[in-house]
Amino acid sequence: MGQNNKMPQNNKETPKDMKRQLIYLIIILPLLSLFFTIEIYAQPGKPILTPDPPPKPKLPPRSSSRIKPAGLTTVEYTNRYRIIYYDYTNSKANLDETVTKLEDLVKLASDDSVRSITYQFLGLLYLHGRNDAGKAEWAMEQAIKANGYALVEISFDNKWRQMTKSRSGEYDFEDAGRGWLKIEPGRVTFTDLKSQTLVNDKTPASLSGQQIRDVSKTLNSAYTLVKITTDNTKRPYFFAAGAKRQVEADLVIKLIQKHVLGKATAQVRR
């Protein structure tokens, strides 16, 4: 019986094969990089924290007047506002779409109550979403003018302590909390996310201009905090606005100095 004298095949790749694979990699790698880049940018961002919308209004009794008021009625306006709010918080609409819808909606407001909450929402989106302090200041000023208040998202220590360095090397509040800062003429108020007033030394954290001794900015690692010292509490208030950026702290201090302390100074001069 004859033996098979064929030599085993050589599995080594030829230079021609290696050149073909190299050309393939040169073509495919940029395409893969582009694909993953598109995928990253297509991911929806996390919605900016916003307060709950007003409750769904009840229809008022029909009026015998045939004169239609300018703009939308409070019921019509509130219903549209709620749709915009829930589309945004449920990620059905992105930040830019929501800003455009709110800017268009506020032009149809017929009274200050609905106008103020719309400007509050816009202020939050401009400041914490777009990092546009100029537009945020304008929107917050409009909210105050409409007999409302400016609203800023804040983080803080529940005992109002400074930030501390953790074992991991990161700086944060030891007993961290989140809430809202409400700025209105002559008063600033700290609340939780459900709009319940916080306390400091068992004292409600709602301060008139006369109770505030000083408002300043303080740096802690890479973060910018706001410090408020008062005449009625031993502990000063340390807190951060939004993402703890300087532009957010600067705007908070500016609004407090203008609307809270400015109002208080005017009252003292009288």
Question: Residue 165: is it exposed, middle or buried by C-beta count within 10 angstroms (0-12/13-18/19+)?
Answer: exposed
Q: Specify if 51 maps to a domain.
A: no
* Domain count within the chain: 2
- Greater confidence (97 vs 16) lies with 97
Contact (CB, 8 A) for 238 and 192: no
> Are residues 156 and 264 located together in one domain of the fold?
yes
> Are residues 256 and 155 located together in one domain of the fold?
yes
177 vs 44: CA distance, rounded Å: 26
Q: Specify if 38 maps to a domain.
A: no
Share of the chain above pLDDT 70, in %: 75
> Are residues 155 and 229 located together in one domain of the fold?
yes
Q: Specify if 41 maps to a domain.
A: no
Contact (CB, 8 A) for 179 and 198: yes
How are strands ordered across the β-sheet holding 223-230?
206-208, 187-192, 176-184, 150-157, 237-241, 223-230, 212-220
- The strand pair at 164-165 and 171-172 is best described as antiparallel
**What single-letter DSSP state applies at residue 169?**
S
Residue 245 pLDDT greater than 50, yes or no: yes
Provide the domain limits for residue 219: 149-270
Looking at the DSSP bridge assignments, the partners of residue 177 are 156
What is the structure's pLDDT at 221? Answer: 83
Indicate the angle between helix axes 133-145 and 112-124, nearest 10 degrees. Answer: 160
> Are residues 197 and 185 located together in one domain of the fold?
yes
> Are residues 267 and 192 located together in one domain of the fold?
yes
The per-residue pLDDT for range 163-219, each reduced to its tens digit, is 998 888 889 999 999 999 999 999 999 999 999 999 999 999 999 999 999 999 999
What is the structure's pLDDT at 29? Answer: 42
> Are residues 82 and 169 located together in one domain of the fold?
no
Q: Specify if 19 maps to a domain.
A: no
- What CATH number does the domain containing 248 carry? 2.30.29.30
150 vs 173: CA distance, rounded Å: 24
Contact (CB, 8 A) for 102 and 114: no
Residue 42 binned pLDDT confidence (cut-offs 50, 70, 90): very low
Residue 18 pLDDT greater than 90, yes or no: no
> Are residues 156 and 200 located together in one domain of the fold?
yes
The per-residue pLDDT for range 88-119, each reduced to its tens digit, is 999 999 999 999 999 999 999 988 888 999 99
- Greater confidence (69 vs 251) lies with 251
- Looking at 102, 129, 148, which one is the last position of a domain? 148
**What single-letter DSSP state applies at residue 226?**
E
> Are residues 260 and 153 located together in one domain of the fold?
yes
> Are residues 116 and 181 located together in one domain of the fold?
no
- Looking at 114, 148, 182, which one is the last position of a domain? 148
Q: Specify if 122 maps to a domain.
A: yes
Q: Specify if 11 maps to a domain.
A: no
Could you tell me the pTM of the whole model?
A: 0.76
> Are residues 140 and 177 located together in one domain of the fold?
no
Q: Specify if 220 maps to a domain.
A: yes
Mean pLDDT of 26-34: 42
Max distance between CA atoms of the chain, in angstroms, equals: 124
What is the structure's pLDDT at 58? Answer: 65
Sign of CA dihedral 113, 244, 190, 50: positive
CA neighbor of 114 nearest in space, from 124, 102, 123: 102
> Are residues 204 and 101 located together in one domain of the fold?
no
Residue 8 pLDDT greater than 90, yes or no: no
- Looking at 148, 177, 197, which one is the last position of a domain? 148
Q: What is the dihedral of CA 60, 66, 71, 72, to 10 degrees?
A: 30
What is the structure's pLDDT at 71? Answer: 72
Q: Specify if 13 maps to a domain.
A: no
> Are residues 171 and 119 located together in one domain of the fold?
no
- Greater confidence (190 vs 41) lies with 190
Q: What is the dihedral of CA 94, 95, 97, 99, to 10 degrees?
A: 160
The per-residue pLDDT for range 129-158, each reduced to its tens digit, is 999 999 999 999 999 999 999 999 999 999
